[in-house]
């Protein structure tokens, strides 16, 4: 074990074993060893020289990290696996791309939209943890139409699980090409959050008497993709990854100065974007290739909306907001 090396939790995060917070829990539980010795919090190591193991398995740093963007459908769990057998986001990733991937944050069972998957624990921490201020943008269809008094209450934050949420940006939204609703029957709203508590948006609108009828996430920091089909997955471009590393407050769905637009309207598929991978069919699936619309989730994916699968090593801060 080296005093001059890198903190163990950071090494484990870079290796895609766990987020830094989850890695600290692994270390505290005595599940991490360095050169045969049980490691402790604060220990350092050199991954090039030291034998670092978790539950007896050697940790290897990847030569190249993987960054995927998935458009999650409803009735799919944002977990690596599910004890109830419901479909998970990993099922939608081609088998050749799945190794060590974890979802960054989560979307609840009935929420659809953009979700990052990566084996880069450092980036996952930066995107998911509220202290970095990486905004997430959602479009919510709610019952009826909230008045200004209700909206002011939501924008200022609500007490959720004993703690007040940070202020949210909420503006009226009119989806393109959507069928106009009857006046007063329902309305669409665009909501920007900088911290996402579990089911936060659903709880917010429920509190003011306007339950959410449909919810989708449309931006993660500067990353958007309006043409990615539901259930499809693609790799991020290098520019998009770099934009995420610098994402902070006020940058949701917006370009970084001098770097071009990271969040593109991909209405012309294949123009300048990352490689899009087709989701597998059944247990097979091809590892790469075009923009073919993937097969939908397996039948029998129903279940309780609040149910949870095994969370594995995905980042637990940041929540879903959904």
Q: By CB neighbour count within 10 A (0-12 exposed, 13-18 middle, 19+ buried), where does 320 fall?
A: buried
Active site (annotated) includes residue 108: yes
215/217 Cα distance (integer angstroms): 7
Residues 6+ apart with CB under 8 A from 40: 27
* DSSP reduced 3-state for 112: strand
Catalytic residue among 82, 91, 108, 225, which? 108
Residues 6+ apart with CB under 8 A from 125: 13, 19, 20, 21, 132, 315, 317
For residue 134, give the H/E element and its range.
none
SS (H, E, C) 25-55: HHHHCCCEEECCEECCCCCEECCCCCCEEEC
Which residues participate in catalysis according to the annotation?
A: 108
């Amino acid at each position: 074990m080296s005093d001059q090396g890198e903190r163990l939790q950071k090494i484990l995060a870079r290796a895609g074993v766990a987020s830094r917070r989850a890695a600290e829990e692994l270390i505290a539980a005595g599940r991490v060893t360095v050169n045969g010795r049980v490691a402790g919090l604060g220990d350092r190591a050199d991954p090039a020289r030291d034998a670092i193991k978790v539950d007896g398995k050697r940790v290897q740093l990847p030569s190249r990290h993987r960054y995927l963007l998935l458009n999650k459908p409803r009735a799919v769990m944002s977990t690596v696996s599910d004890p109830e057998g419901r479909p998970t986001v990993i099922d939608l990733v081609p088998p050749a791309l799945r190794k060590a991937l974890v979802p960054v944050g989560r979307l609840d069972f009935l929420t659809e939209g953009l979700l990052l998957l990566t084996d880069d624990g450092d980036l996952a921490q930066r995107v998911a943890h509220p202290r970095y201020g990486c905004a997430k943008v959602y479009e919510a269809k709610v019952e009826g139409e909230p008045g200004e008094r209700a909206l002011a209450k939501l924008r200022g934050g609500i007490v959720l699980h004993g703690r007040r949420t940070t202020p949210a940006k909420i503006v009226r939204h009119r989806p393109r090409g959507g069928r106009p609703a009857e006046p007063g029957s329902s309305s669409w709203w665009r909501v920007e959050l900088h911290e996402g508590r579990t089911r936060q948006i659903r709880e917010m609108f429920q509190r003011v008497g306007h339950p959410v009828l449909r919810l989708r996430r449309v931006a993660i920091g500067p990353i958007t993709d309006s043409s990615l089909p539901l259930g499809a997955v693609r790799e991020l471009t290098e520019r998009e990854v770099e934009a995420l590393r610098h994402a902070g407050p006020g940058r949701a769905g917006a370009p970084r100065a001098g770097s071009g637009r990271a969040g593109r309207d991909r209405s012309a598929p294949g123009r300048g974007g990352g490689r899009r991978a087709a989701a597998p069919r059944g247990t097979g699936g091809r590892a790469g290739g075009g923009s073919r619309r993937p097969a939908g989730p397996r039948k029998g994916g129903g279940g309780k909306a609040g149910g949870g699968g095994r969370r594995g090593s995905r980042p637990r801060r940041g929540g879903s907001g959904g």
